[in-house]
Amino acid sequence: MQKNIFVITVIVISIIVLSGVVILWMNNEKSRGQPIGNTADQNAPNIETEVATDPRFPEIKGKLMSGFPEIPVYPGATLIASAKTNRANEQDTGYRAKWETQDAVVKVMKWYQEELPKSGWAYETPNDPNASGEQVAQIKKSDLEGFLEAEREEKGTEIVVEVRITK
């Protein structure tokens, strides 16, 4: 009987110690910002982005990135964020920015169709210029090309501009 009690005590103590080690390890992983059990890129920071397509790309909320190309901004639109389309230690490959407005998608795209050419940008009319949910237009200017998108969301219309450096 004493032998059984000793064995049970050793097992219970082992379980408690092992549980403590696992809890300490998990807390250590969380404090380092690493996703537990995730085999994806373990070097990627755990950062929430507004407009960057990769969390490792530099992003600034509420301002345009230094070097962002001059492009007309829809009147009254609020800048949410801007980002580069490359890591901070790499050569610039392009930029991306997002604005929000309460105006309709059709109105926003019509304005850009008229204003972009005045600033030297080529604007390719979307396939369905009357679509009210989302429209995407190709844009170009000298060594830049990309797209301008207006999409209706619950809180308003999002305007996204992404340009790549082609030189």
Output the CA torsion 79→80→84→86 (10° steps).
-160
As a whole number, mean pLDDT of residues 91-120 equals 96
More confident residue, 47 or 8: 8
Whole-number Å distance between alpha carbons of 121 and 105: 20
Got the DSSP string for 122-133? EEEPPS-TT-SS
Query: Which tens digit of pLDDT belongs to each residue from 19-45?
Result: 665 565 555 544 444 333 333 333 444
Q: What's this model's pTM, rounded to 2 decimal places?
A: 0.69
Question: Residue 17 — very low, low, confident or very high, per pLDDT cuts 50/70/90?
Answer: low
Q: How many CB atoms lie within 10 A of CB 133?
A: 11
